Amino acid sequence: MDYAVILALQIGSAIASLVLISLGLAVIFGMMRIINLAHGEFLMLGGYAAITAYNNGVNLWIAMLLVAPLTVGLFGIVVERLIIRHLYGRMIDTMLATWGLSLAMIGFVTVVFGNTVSGISAPLGSLTIGAYRTGAYELFLIIVAALLLVVGWLVLRYTRLGLIARGTMQNAAMAAALGVSPSLVYAVTFGVGAALTGLVGGLLAPLSGVVPTIGAAYIAKAFITVISGGAAILSGTAIASGLLGTINTAMTFAFTSVLGEVALLVAAVVLLRILPQGITGRFFQRSL
């Protein structure tokens, strides 16, 4: 029984991790159709923002939950205003621009912080379940992932801001005719996606530490999850995270972590072969 509980927590942690690293990309790619190859570096920047703030005397929770998302969110708005806004509808150009941005960010952060791992201790201690111990912070991340999905759904479904954002992404010309500024909506939406990514970077910093090249460890999983989820940015991300996270954890427990990663990739390839438009391209088509 204890082993089953630990396995369930590990599966939940894997699912939460995929949800967290994919949410910001789901907003930017899923809603705006922008392929942001600097997504991993946005996450890395959030981690460094949280660590730097904490090392300078800021409370750990404020550093992770406020400083990291605000820093990356503002940076995202600047990037959208200076770079992305000139490239809407030009997918290849956007990919090249964000790839160049990712290289520039890695180089700059390496110069400032060095090429060594920076980190902070995970709060909340550990949980004892029978003969097993697991980090209480991982349970906290599961709760945060669930809350972000619920809050995101409520905002997009029931608030005027969510309606304006969805309407502008679907038909910018009509939104402009109704008095909405598509340019402002694009900037705010990109900033929100960046802020979510920065928040996750801050939250994951106590678990994995941060190094300038850490973005490469997350970006592939994020894109795989969002693409596998399909058009519905929230339900698609949640379902794909649940499926891929369960497969990854089960294979890791049964064999090794390497085979777990391979199984995740193979599952995504098979899924996209069967459902080329993702899970919500075939099912849950009216969901968010």
Q: pLDDT category, 232, cuts 50, 70, 90?
A: confident
CA separation for the pair 236, 281 (Å, rounded): 9
> What is the SS3 assignment for 287?
coil
> What share of residues in the chain are helix, strand, coil (percent, to 5)?
75, 5, 20
Write the single-letter amino acid at 284: F
CA separation for the pair 148, 90 (Å, rounded): 30
Q: What residue ranges do the domains of the chain occupy?
A: 2-282
How high is the pLDDT of residue 145?
92
What's the pLDDT tens digit per position in 161-179?
Answer: 888 888 888 788 888 888 8
First to last CA, the chain: 36
287: tokens are 């969901």
57: left (phi over 0), alpha (psi -120 to 50) or beta: left
Please check the confidence at residue 195 and state whether its pLDDT lies above 90: yes
What's the pLDDT tens digit per position in 71-103?
Answer: 999 999 999 999 998 888 888 899 999 999 999
How high is the pLDDT of residue 137?
82
Q: What is the mean pLDDT of residues 92-116?
A: 91
What's the pLDDT tens digit per position in 242-255?
Answer: 888 888 888 888 78
Please check the confidence at residue 135 and state whether its pLDDT lies above 60: yes
Q: What global pTM score does this model have?
A: 0.90
**CATH T-level topology, domain 2-282:** ABC transporter involved in vitamin B12 uptake, BtuC (1.10.3470)
**Measured between alpha carbons, how far is residue 220 from residues 123, 215, 264, 268 in Å?**
28, 9, 11, 11
